[in-house]
Structure 1
Amino acid sequence: MRFVWRVGGPAGMGVNNTGLSFARTFMRAGYHVFMNTELPSLIKGGNNTATVRVEDKEVGSPVKGVDVLLALDQNTVDLYKSEAKSVVFGEGVKAEGFFIPMQEIVNEVGGESVMRNTVGLGFTVGLTGLSFDFLKGVLEDDFKSKGEKVLKGNLECARKGFNLASNFKNVLQLEGLNKSKRMLISGNHAIAFGALKAGCKFFSAYPMTPASPIMEYVAPLEREFGIVMKQTEDEIAAVNMAVGASFAGVRSMSFTSGGGFSLMVEGLGLSGMTETPVVIVEVQRPGPSTGLATRTGQEDLKFVLSASQGEFPRIVVAPGDCKELFEETVRLFNLTEKYQVPGVILSDKFLSESWVDCDFLETSLKNERSLVDKTVKGYKRYVLTENGVSPRAVPGSDNIFRATSDEHDEEGFFDESAENRLKMTEKRWRKVEFIKKDLKKPVLVDNEGDLTLVGTGSTKNVLKEAVEVLKEKVKVNFLHVLYLSPFQEEVVKILESSGTVVCVENNYTAQLASILRENGLDVDYNLLKFDGRPFTVDEVVEKILKLRG
């Protein structure tokens, strides 16, 4: 079973919240849901959409086409009527489909105009045959904190809209399924959950779309979790505060998008030189400059790999779904601390701001702290070791040490000598081979196939589903590149033994393909999209079928 629903309207009409209410309703009824949004960089006006895909199996990617379009204005009809099988609209909108008097109902209950979305929500749920009780429970949770009047008004609007649906033939006839409780989560929430699970105590950031929801989630939890969420004056301060907090002994995180990360690169280098672990989240959006502030892309892969002057090891991970974002955030905190290097979680607007239902997040990973907890005679903060990792003490202990952004000797003293430079550079880079041993090994999904789709980050679920669709016509499999740095040689070995390799990514210059080429593999074809929108399953399937003739 597949049902695709979309609500559209101007910014300020509660489009996102309406979409979330619809998604929660069907999740609580036992169905699997996936929601993604498209919106312009406007506070008011323009056209926002929230698209919810409902299935009886797990789902995590967008597809073409809409079964029911809830249009809150004429612009939505004009933009999307060609994609929709049915349109639901109210007063002042010209369309063919289901007309319902949204504003009239709102006036009857004495509500505000924005509540037209709740009328439409109730009506479209009614068209599916689902019990009103599922929607009622969701609305009670959504509006109980806003006072009795607002809650009652929205429940009345939803009920009146729902009842109107009985005058029309249902588009579906659904019943609630008996399934265990699940959670509806966005990628940004998964990162925040992972950081809290990892014991992160200091968060610092300057608001920047599409990373800001991380701040909005963790800020109210300061007292409950004993954390600090510091909104800084800019991203330079944010990264330096995070490095400073880690230097003092607590786990720390900063988060931003590409423009903010551009300001963080010197602080990233400070982490690299002082061997102070820090975790940075870079939620990509298209550039350059302000670019497309509320759209998606994968244009920062190579930038993140080489950000800051000089050379130093770093761990860059590009998870592909919410479960992976959660677990890899925990893992990255452990690895950056164990090896005393900076780490970057690479996400993008599509992955971070899409919502999906999943089981309650769990991980077998434990928080592994790597601090010197006793007095060490003759302590040297940067002593040369076989694996490049030196004992790490923190200020306030009996192990006195120095730290500087200049090149330094084993005790932290400034030292420009050629001999010392060679020793310390080689020390820092010795960590890489040991880091690789602690990374999850890449796995080819579905070994049978003479064509391999390869991607990283948010293309994961799209490519997985495309493989399932294509298997009826094409022998195809899929490889998700999780770690971009240090790069795993196993990725190249897997692809060398594959047939035709097609690299799928959201940028113009085929950056993942370039990374593969630098590591000894030329891909056969590139499937690129760089209009600020994510791939749909249908797009990938169509391109591959065309490629295969």
Structure 2
Amino acid sequence: MELKDDVSIVLCGEAGQGIQTVERFLTRVLKFDGFNVFATKEYMSRVRGGLNSTEIRVSSENIKSFVSKIDVLVTLKKGSIQHLKDRLSKDTLILGEKANAEDGYPFVEMPFTQIATDIGDKIFSNVVAVGSISAILNVDFETIESYLKEFFARKGDEIVNKNIEAARKGYDLGLNLIKTGKIKVSIKKDATIKNDLIFDGATAIGLGALAGGCNFISSYPMTPSTGILTFLSEHAKEFGIVAEQAEDEISAINMAIGAWYAGSRAMVTTAGGGFALMVEGMSLAGMIESPLVVNLGQRPAPATGLPTRTEQGDLLFALYSGHGEFPKILLTPGTLEDAFYLTQKAFYFADKFQVPVIILSDQYLVDSYYNVKNLDLPKNQPQKFVVETTKDYKRYALSKSGISPRGIPGGAGLVDVDSDEHDESGHITEDLDLRVKMVDKRLKKFDSIKAEIIPPELIGSPKYDTIVVGWGSTYPAIREAVEKIEDESIAFLYFKQVYPLHPDTKKYLQSAKKRIIVENNATSQFGHVVKAETGIDFDVKILKYNGMPFSVEELVSRLKESR
């Protein structure tokens, strides 16, 4: 089997077997050796048992999307082949322990565990596997050796040497596959990739929060957003962050609102079930005009649903969250770079417009990672919009823009906020005429927000006949699929902000003869938003809601069928 320019390697085993260790080792080694790498995982909601898999895609080009094909399958547990049978082809090279073989599927025995046991402990079997795959991909062994020395340095020379021995024996296994003609891989290396960053979506959002000036996070752990809380907690001392694991989501959002009131820049992370508990807090933020940044990591629902899978099913929930009418902003990153920049932007929007900003991520985005060339870090401290109060300070002073000066306690004036309707000073009122003025004041913010809406990005020829619309994490797969179709009459319109909707949306849609929308949900939620705002419906809705992301291949097929 000969593979050129793009290889998909899948590792499959049970939870607790160390698949993520192999993934971590291998992706770093590949990056350090000059390969473009992308990784994503699918896993069951359990600590041990079941079958989980990780896809590691290696390419001559910078890649960011999931593919269905499996070129090399490494089985670490009996049942792996059946688990992934729909993605296997006659050309798939299946490697693993003899006990994991299944009738009807060509199999190459790779005695990872026996080799590891001979070295001293079966725990080294993961490193044996890393060595084998590295050899298949033509990784220089010196790169593996250097990484293992650095990674295990704190555990002493004996552990370092045993891991290097395990990697070498695995590497020899991989070389034997090449020598016997079972596989040949040709992927271009790029020396500059060695200096790339490599991280996942949770880290990207965490880094964006730091760049946005976040200094307070309060969350209750909930898949898939826990990684963001973990990242900021790990760096709390370094960046002066107060990181609080709250007792529940109600406490978390109220803590964040209190932190903004006191002058901090606060963030909350959660998933759909946790966000359900936060909606009263969202409404409180709307009434007291408090800035707020919430990362809502989407996963299949209702209720607990599929807690470790992915979906785009919470857009409408986020849009209509909180009782009453008040402005909010919804941002939807589709790449790691966007996750960084949009999270940074979320703090700017929240502070400037004094509104809740919701970042809609999902399990696929948060758990996927790849190499990134660079991130433009802010050269200056984030712009803040807090004013120093005077004795005659009015927190809710009526203004043409609807944005009142936001002070914090400690100045000469009283910063009075109240969840009841209030007058300009923040005191409770039941003046019905004033009630209308205050509602109008809050809604006026939409005019200011609309002046800074992030525009959708058009990928492809502006002379399109067919337009494909997507938002959030569907971006990489849609883009690659449209590029593979190689038809200038098809263009892709990608939304990083889904609410408020950019005014050019209608123009883009009216210019197309056929309109297609792609969403990871069952009811085309963004399609509903677009129709409500523009009056335009989509001709074709490509929807997926089984808990898995779109693959490039299925989008190529479904887009061709839709024409």
Contact 2:453 2:500 in 1 (8 A): no
Contact 2:10/2:54, CA 8 A, preserved across alignment: yes
Partner of residue 297, structure 2: 283
Q: Which residue of 2 aligns with 1:10?
A: 14
Q: How far did residue 141 of structure 1 move?
A: 3.8
Distance 2:482 2:33 in 1: 29
5 Å matches for 1:49-198?
A: 49-81=53-85, 83=88, 85-95=92-102, 96-111=106-121, 113-169=122-178, 170-173=183-186, 176-180=189-193, 181-198=195-212
Q: CA deviation at 1:90?
A: 1.5
1:7/1:49 contact within 8 Å kept: yes
Judge which range, 27-36 or 234-243, deviates more. 27-36
Counterpart of 2:479, as a letter, is: K
Q: 1:378 corresponds to which residue?
A: 392
C-alpha distance in structure 1 between counterparts of 2:245 and 2:480, whole Å: 39
Q: Are the aligned partners of 2:390 and 2:413 in contact in 1 as well (CA < 8 Å)?
A: yes
Contact 1:8 1:50 (8 Å CA) reproduced: yes
CA distance in 1: counterparts of 2:363 and 2:28, whole angstroms: 21
Using the TM superposition, give the Cα deviation of residue 108 of structure 1 relative to its aligned residue in structure 2, in angstroms.
1.4
Partner of 1:469: 484
Alpha carbons 2:337, 2:375 under 8 Å: kept: yes
CA apart distance, 1:399: 1.6
Alpha-carbon distance, 1:107 to partner? 1.2
> Hey, what's the Cα distance between the residues in 2 that align with 1:174 and 1:347?
32
Matches within 5 A, 1:238-257: 238-257=252-271
Separation in 2 of the partners of 1:115 and 1:355?
Answer: 25
Q: Are 1:407 and 2:452 matched, yes or no?
A: no
- How far apart are residue 469 of structure 1 and its match? 0.8
Whether contact under 8 Å (1:130, 1:173) holds in the other structure is no
Residue 308 of structure 1 and its aligned partner are, at CA, apart by 1.2
Distance 1:409 1:31 in 2: 61
* SS of residue matched to 1:345: strand
SS of 2:71's equivalent in the other structure is strand
1:505 pairs with 2:519: yes
**Cα distance between partner residues in 2 of 1:390 and 1:149:** 64
Question: Structure 2 CA distance, aligned partners of 1:501 and 1:413?
Answer: 50
Greater mean alpha carbon deviation, residues 321-330 or residues 179-188: 179-188
Count of residues paired in the alignment: 545
* C-alpha RMSD of the superposition: 1.6
Greater shift in the superposed pair: 24-33 or 78-87: 78-87
Matched, 1:221 2:235: yes
Q: Which moved more, 1:382-391 or 1:25-34?
A: 25-34
Per-residue deviation, residues 327-364 of structure 1 (Å, max 9, x unmatched)? 11111101110111111000000011101110221155
AA aligned to 1:533 is: M
Deviations 1:151-190 (A, max 9, x none): 3332221111101223222431557432151011111111
* Corresponding position: 1:538 with 2:553: yes
Deviates more, 1:131-140 or 1:152-161: 131-140
Contact 2:35 2:188 in 1 (8 A): no
Shifted more, 195-204 versus 176-185: the winner is 176-185
Once the 2 structures are TM-superposed, how far is the Cα of residue 292 of structure 1 from its aligned partner? 0.2
Amino acid of the structure 1 residue aligned with 2:387? V
Q: Match for residue 29 of structure 1?
A: 33
> For 2:23 and 2:412, how far apart are their aligned partners in 1?
56
Residues 455, 497 of structure 2: 8 Å contact kept: no
SS at match of 2:93: strand
- Per-residue displacement from partner, 1:270-323 (whole Å, max 9, x unpaired)? 111111101000000000000000000000000000001111101110111111
**Aligned-partner Cα distance in 2 for 1:68–1:144:** 31
Q: What secondary structure is seen at the aligned counterpart in 1 of 2:438? A: helix
How big is the shift at 1:122?
Answer: 0.8
Deviation at residue 412 of structure 1 after TM alignment: 0.3
Superposition pairs of residues 207-218 of structure 1, within 5 angstroms: 207-218=221-232
Q: Go from structure 1 to structure 2 and tell me whether the alpha carbon gap of 1:269 and 1:467 turns closer, same or farther (over 3 Å shift).
A: same
Q: Secondary structure at the match of 2:515?
A: strand
Q: Per-residue displacement from partner, 1:359-415 (whole Å, max 9, x unpaired)?
A: 221155851100113x43411000000101111110122121311111101000101
Q: Which amino acid is 2:139 matched to?
A: L
For residues 26-61 of structure 1, give each alpha carbon's deviation from its aligned partner in whole angstroms, at most 9, with x where no partner exists: 212222111110000010011111101111111111
SS in 2 for 1:179: helix
For 1:166 and 1:335, the matched residues in 2 are separated by 54
In the TM superposition, 1:316-331 aligns within 5 A as 316-331=330-345
Moved more, 398-407 or 93-102: 93-102
- Distance in 1, matches of 2:128 and 2:352, equals 54
CA contact (8 A) 1:72 1:117 kept: no
Q: What amino acid is aligned across from residue 470 of structure 2 in structure 1? A: G
Identify unmatched segments of 5+ residues in structure 2: none
Name the CA distance, whole Å, in 1 between partners of 2:453 and 2:43: 36
What SS class does the counterpart of residue 482 from structure 2 fall into? helix
Identity %: 36
1:231 aligns with 2:240: no
Change (3 A) 1:57 1:174: closer
Q: TM-score, normalised by structure 2?
A: 0.94
Single out whichever of 1-10 and 18-27 deviates more from structure 2.
Answer: 18-27
Cα contact 2:286–2:356 (8 A) shared by 1: yes
Structure 2 letter corresponding to 1:55? S
2:11 match: secondary structure: strand
Q: Structure 2 counterpart of 1:93, which letter?
A: N
The alpha carbon displacement at 1:228 in A equals 0.9
What is the CA distance between 1:80 and its match in structure 2? 2.5
Which has the larger displacement, 76-85 or 58-67? 76-85
Please give the TM-score of this superposition, normalised by the length of structure 1. Answer: 0.96
Structure 2 CA distance, aligned partners of 1:359 and 1:264?
Answer: 36
Does the C-alpha gap of structure 1 residues 146 and 278 become closer, same or farther in structure 2, counting only changes over 3 Å?
Answer: farther
Secondary structure of 2:406's partner?
A: coil
**Residue 149 of structure 1: how far off its partner (Å):** 4.2
Shift of 1:145: 4.1
Deviation at 1:147, TM superposition (A): 4.6
Aligned partners of 2:390 and 2:411 also within 8 Å: no
Structure 1: distance between partners of 2:150 and 2:219: 30
Q: Give the match's secondary structure for 2:516.
A: strand
Task: Report the CA distance between 1:148 and its aligned residue.
Answer: 4.2
- Residue 146 of structure 1, CA deviation: 4.4
